[in-house]
Amino acid sequence: MIFDSYEAYRAASFTPKVCILGSGPAGTTIARKLGAAGIPVVVLEAGSREFSDESQDFYRGTTVGDFYFDLDITRLRFMGGSSNHWAGWCRVLDKEDFEPKAWVPDTGWPIRRTDIEPYLPEVRDILDLPAFRPDMPISDHIRWVQLIKSPAVRFAEKFGDELDKARNIAVVLNTCVTELAGDGKRVTGARLWSNGQDAGSISADYFIVCTGGLENSRLLLWSNQRSNGGVVPNATALGRYWMEHPTFEGGNAILADYNAFEVDAVNEAFFSPTLAAMERLQIMNFGIRLIETPYPGVKSLIADLACTAPDIAEWMSSKLSQRLRCAAQLYVAWEQAPLASNQIELSKTDVDHTGVPRIELHWKKSELERRTLLEGLRLFGTTLIEKNLGRVRIADWISNGQDYPTNDETAGHHHMGGTRMGTDIGKSVVDANCKVHGMDNLYVGGSSVFCTSGQCNPTTTITALSCRLGDHLSKVITV
Amino acid sequence: MSFFIKKMSRRAIVQALIALPALSLFRKLPDADASYASHPDQSRADPNEIVEVNGWILKRSDLA
């Protein structure tokens, strides 16, 4: 069932066991799992069926530190959430991403990749994915990795009819929770805002916050402040360890044979470091995206190489005369070191229409990440040399130690951390089952529970974790 | 000038570009600091040593 207002929903006298906040990939996946288990669920969606400026305005905020996107454009507030603008790039976090890195503090998850692997067939069905393929090492340093370019499932489009017909799932549009109330053991209710006005409160046995990788922290911070710690009793890590995937053009490659690597339909290929290389250099995970360079770019690159290494440039120019595709841009996206100082705070001066403080995001890239970028390009360059496949040129701004450019990709619009999973209550917010520490009936879904970010797009892992949480709750909750 | 460029093949233009800086006067030779190999003392002798010059990651033997 789908309702356009909380008033309409209330008239239907639906009694939910579980209240899910948000209808993005996490919220929708968990709702479908619980619904299939016969558990009555209400899903509160802040926006309507379509994009609107009025709804997006709730997402405005500020960023302190490094340049970042406006917070009201980096996510979407309507049915289906940010699945409405994602690119569909899919890959599960690496096995190594779940394990602690001895050289980086606060890494490692309380679960392993094997804990989510049983859900991957389900994830493939949800996201319309082909089979996942194993990585292929191409040297001691670098492995070819599969990054699936899927049709980018819009969750509201794909599952809207199913949700509408479901008798034990109620989706309530234009309705958001402005505040959870709690007594330090349980969430006792939630204050609602629907269609531009206060709409009273809702109660349920369980609450699952799935409002996105920025908004989850905001709602919990505000609710905790209002309830004097009654919603997140151990709040030291709340809002902290926030992460993105910084993404910049790191240089170029001249390739003797562009077909030496498996490329996708748009002639792109992806590479990551081996665990041995990460350990040896003490760097983070990263992904190098190889993109075909247009012909004029190839000529200027070879001319530049000729100034330094004429013989190899001549070899390359002979390759150029044989085929037009022989060079690539190298975009690098990398894993951020989890830092408590990268955090979501509540603005002290600015509130939205409901009176909830807006986000003040503190975000800064670290020196370790800068080294990861440089060493990553060096590893790839060394691999091309060892395999006699080509040469790499590192971008001047990296070689010269200049600031990050502000006219580049910047990041992936991937909002991770803030309510991270863990066993140490001083450094995490939820446990291995995504339950808030110390609370009996409050769970968190989505990428805000990520402990580390890995290098790949998060939606596949979000969906797998959501299947796992739905499965867990369907065993815990008795109807 | 444009007449000659029109008459020249792309390959010939690229080869001309290659030839010009190949003159020793214009060629920038790497110094030992350009290497990020772990044993710089041995670097001069090893043609397979990885060096960085002008942003390029190269083998020492690439530097004619």
One DSSP character per residue, A360-379 reads: EEEE---HHHHHHHHHHHHH
Phi, psi of A371, rounded to the nearest 5 degrees: -70, -35
Q: Regarding beta strands B56-59 and B50-53, do their DSSP bridges make them parallel or antiparallel, or are they unpaired?
A: antiparallel
Torsion from C-alpha of A199, A58, A84, A432, nearest 10 degrees:
-80
Q: Regarding beta strands A442-444 and A206-209, do their DSSP bridges make them parallel or antiparallel, or are they unpaired?
A: parallel
For chain B, the residues whose C-beta falls within 8 A of a C-beta of chain A are 10-11, 14-15, 17-22, 26-28, 36, 50, 52-59, 62-64
Residue type present at position A126:
I
Euclidean distance between CA atoms A142 and A378, whole angstroms: 11
In angstroms, what separates the C-alpha of A299 from chain B's closest C-alpha?
7
Residue B25 has a pLDDT of 44
Nearest CA in chain A to B11: A321
Q: Which residues contact A453 (CB under 8 A, 6 or more apart)?
A: A97, A243, A244, A245, A335, A336, A338, A414, A416, A417
A2-245+335-365+404-476, CATH topology level: FAD/NAD(P)-binding domain (3.50.50)
> B2-56, pLDDT tens digit by residue?
555 566 677 666 666 665 555 444 444 444 344 554 445 544 568 889 999 999 9
Does A385 contact B64 at a Cβ distance shorter than 8 Å? no
> A174-204, pLDDT tens digit by residue?
999 999 999 999 999 999 999 999 999 999 9
Residue B1 has a pLDDT of 46
In angstroms, what separates the C-alpha of A50 from chain B's closest C-alpha?
48
CB A421 within 8 A of CB A238: no
**Residues of chain A where predicted confidence (pLDDT) is lower than 50:** none
Euclidean distance between CA atoms A418 and A70, whole angstroms: 18
Contact of A313 with chain B, judged by CB distance below 8 Å, is answered with: yes
Residue A244 has a pLDDT of 98
Residue B15 has a pLDDT of 66
Domain residue spans of chain B: 2-62
Residue B5 has a pLDDT of 54
Residue B17 has a pLDDT of 65
Nearest CA in chain B to A252: B56
Nearest CA in chain B to A316: B14
Least CB–CB distance from B28: residue in A308, A391, A396: A308
Interface probe for B, chosen from A307, A314, A374 (most Cβ of B below 10 Å), is: A307
User: Is the CA virtual torsion A286, A290, A291, A295 positive or negative?
Assistant: positive
Residue spans of alpha helices (H) in A146-234: 155-165, 215-226
What residue ranges in A319-463 does DSSP mark as E strands?
327-334, 343-351, 357-363, 390-394, 410-411, 416-418, 442-444
Residue A331 tokens read as 């975009």
Does B11 contact A392 at a Cβ distance shorter than 8 Å? no
Rg of chain B over CA atoms, in angstroms?
A: 16
CB A438 within 8 A of CB A184: yes
In angstroms, what separates the C-alpha of B18 from chain A's closest C-alpha?
5
Q: What ipTM does this complex have? A: 0.86
Residue B32 has a pLDDT of 39
Beta-carbon-side half-sphere exposure of residue B9 (alpha carbons within 13 Å): 7
Contact of A90 with chain B, judged by CB distance below 8 Å, is answered with: no
Residue A263 has a pLDDT of 87
Contact of A314 with chain B, judged by CB distance below 8 Å, is answered with: yes
Q: Regarding beta strands A268-273 and A286-292, do their DSSP bridges make them parallel or antiparallel, or are they unpaired?
A: antiparallel
Residue A161 tokens read as 């009819």
Euclidean distance between CA atoms A395 and A92, whole angstroms: 29
Nearest CA in chain A to B50: A382
Euclidean distance between CA atoms A427 and A422, whole angstroms: 7
